[in-house]
Amino acid sequence: MPRSQRLGNRPKNGPDTQVPNRSGFLTFTPMTKTSLRDIPSADLIGRRLLVRADLNVPMEDGRITDDTRVRETLPTLRLLKARGARTVVISHLGRPKGPDPALSLRGVADLLCDSMGGTVRFHPGLVGPEARAAVDALDDGAVLVLENTRFDAGETKNAPELARALADLADVFVNDAFGAAHRAHASTTGVAAEVRRRGGKAVAGLLLYKELEVLGSLLREPERPFVAILGGVKVSGKVEVIRALLPRVDRLLVGGAMANTFLRALGLELGQSLVEEDKVKLGRRILRDAGDRLVLPVDCLVAKRIEDGAAVRVVPRDSVQPDDCIGDIGSASRELFSGLLNDARTVFWNGPMGVFEMAAFQEGTIAVARAVAVETDRGALTVVGGGDSAAALNVAGVADKVTHVSTGGGASLEFLAGEQLPGVAALSDR
């Protein structure tokens, strides 16, 4: 029987800590870090629980285009509410350089409020006397969302002052932000260390714990063939991650702007396409070591400009013109990638194959999403990571046809590459 049937309707977003693996359900193996479940209920009533959530949802013109991350953190928030904790939620949203009304968390707090039965409040500040007063005014079971952590310059610098000010708001710190666990910021590692220094606990939330379990199963004993697909545009660090991932997988398919660095390493003309020039040398070395395990697109969908309604052409990868811009993988690459996914037993996918937000450039991403869904139906364990990749699953209409949608793109990649996630390392040991 295919695994997807064996597993039945598992509670995808539920607080249940059951994780699918090759033998069906597997309950959590003990982790070395403390989780929210380790704290007795009696120790939560009336206590201030500072929850670092990942509310970094994709936005377009001030609208939330995908609410996956908000939904996924609900089990933790609902558990705390039910236990009578005083919950304070912090998160970053986007990449503001300072206070920026367009990136306020107010809209996300409104969405969260709807999801929690109208009981969530928002305070337009992060630390300081007013935030402190808002937290002190909380009733048992209440939930308060504070403003975007990145409005404070200390966040990305992991400034000790900000970590201390955040720790002032917490009796217990809960990290539920898997999507930010690969960053050592004040709201992830700094505050955790400070809360522990003061004798408090810093624990993993239900979502963070679930993510570590599912992704951990890909590292422990993946059923083979294990195929990884990488794409997208986020370049910083991804090339290095590819190198670390290669020995763990049977095939690594690379598309999106990510592939351009490697195509350039092959000496190809890429016109106006996005290329990470300072990684080309590294790309060349990786290609040499990887052999046929690393698979690149053989053709590209190009346009003179990446815009809605652009006139597009499919060209072999060695025929991109100087005024062309690559917006997606081509039709031959779609077939190549789908074929290589055929009969995979374990699949990990992060990053769209093209600019899937525009209809003209979404075929490659949709083809990969559908191929992953087919393998899920055939019983493969399929994991998709990354905010845009999760949104792409929705565009392709197969969001419920993968085993697990991870809320972390960069974090899941670094975890699979075998790196320590600072946000996890900073939590209290068991």
Q: Which residues of this protein are in contact with ligand ADP, per CB under 6 A? A: 231-234, 256-257, 274, 326-327, 350-352, 354-355, 357, 386-389, 409
Q: Provide, rounded to whole angstroms, the least separation between the CB of residue 117 and Mg ion.
A: 30
Q: Pick between residue 268 and residue 326 the one whose CB is nearest to ligand ADP.
A: 326
Asked about 48 being catalytic, the answer comes back as no
- As measured in angstroms, the least distance from the Cβ of 260 to Mg ion is 17
* Partner in contact with 179, chosen from Mg ion, ligand ADP, none, beta carbon below 5 to 8 Å by kind: none
Question: Tokens standing for 126?
Answer: 């992060």
Q: How far apart are CA 144 and CA 343, in angstroms?
A: 47
The reply to whether 357 sits near Mg ion by the rule CB under 5 A is no
Q: Which candidate in 330, 387, 408, 409 is catalytic?
A: 387
Query: 208 vs 263, which CB is nearer to ligand ADP?
Result: 263
Stretch near Mg ion under the rule CB under 5 A, chosen from 221-229, 354-362, 376-384, 387-395? 387-395
Residue placing its CB nearer to ligand ADP in the complex, 286 or 427: 286
* Interaction between residue 385 and Mg ion (CB under 5 A): no
Q: Which of Mg ion, ligand ADP, none does residue 352 bind (CB under 5 to 8 Å by kind)?
A: ligand ADP
Known catalytic membership, residue 401: no
Among 190, 200, 283, 410, the active-site one is 410
User: Does 397 participate in catalysis according to the annotation?
Assistant: no
Residue 238 Cβ, how far from ligand ADP at the closest point, in Å? 8
Q: What is the DSSP string of 187-255?
A: IIIIHHHHHHHTT-EEEE-HHHHHHHHHHHHHHH---SSEEEEE-SS--TTHHHHHHHHGGG-SEEEE-
Catalytic residue among 69, 78, 81, 201: 69
Return the closest-CA partner of residue 422 out of 256, 164, 208, 134.
208
Q: Does 194 bind Mg ion (CB under 5 A)?
A: no
387 contributes a contact to Mg ion by CB under 5 A: yes
Interaction partner, residue 364 (ligand ADP, Mg ion, none; CB < 5-8 Å by kind): none
Buried b vs exposed e over 286-316: b needs ≥16 C-beta within 10 Å? Answer: beeebeeebbbbbbbbbbeebeeebebebbe
Residue 387 appears among annotated catalytic residues: yes
Query: For residue 88, what are the contacts with CB-CB under 8 A and spacing of at least 6?
Result: 48, 49, 50, 51, 135, 138, 144, 146, 169, 170
Q: Which of the following is catalytic: 12, 234, 304, 370?
A: 234
Please report the sign of the dihedral spanned by the C-alpha atoms of residue 151, residue 155, residue 157, residue 162.
Answer: positive
Nearer to ligand ADP, 139 or 308 (CB): 308
Q: How far is the CB of 278 from ligand ADP (least distance, A)?
A: 18
Please say whether the beta carbons of 159 and 149 come within 8 A: no
Give the integer Cα–Cα distance in Å for 411 and 419.
9
- Cα separations in angstroms, 231 against 121, 131, 165, 327, 422: 37, 40, 38, 12, 24
Residue 326: name its binding partner from ligand ADP, Mg ion, none (Cβ under 5 to 8 Å by kind).
ligand ADP
Residue 389, contacted partner among Mg ion, ligand ADP, none, CB below 5-8 A by kind: ligand ADP
Going along 82-205, which residue ranges are E strands?
86-90, 120-122, 143-145, 172-175, 201-204
- The whole-angstrom separation of Cα 32 and Cα 270 is 47
Beta carbon nearer to Mg ion, 33 or 183: 183
CA contacts within 13 A on the Cβ side of 6: 17
Which CB sits closer to ligand ADP, 154 or 423?
423
Cβ 261 to ligand ADP shortest distance, Å: 11
Residue 388 binding Mg ion, by CB under 5 A: yes
Q: Which residue is nearest to ligand ADP (CB)?
A: 386
Closest approach of ligand ADP to the CB of residue 177, in Å: 15
Inter-residue contact 170 to 200 (CB < 8 Å): yes
Residue in the shown chain whose Cβ atom is closest to Mg ion: 388
Residue 264: closest CA among 283, 245, 243: 283
Q: Residue written as tokens 């079971």?
A: 141
- Phi, psi (deg, nearest 5) at residue 149: -60, -25
Spatial distance between the Cα atoms of 92 and 177, rounded to a whole number of angstroms: 10
Active site residues: 69, 234, 387, 410
Which chain residues interact with Mg ion by CB under 5 A? 387-388
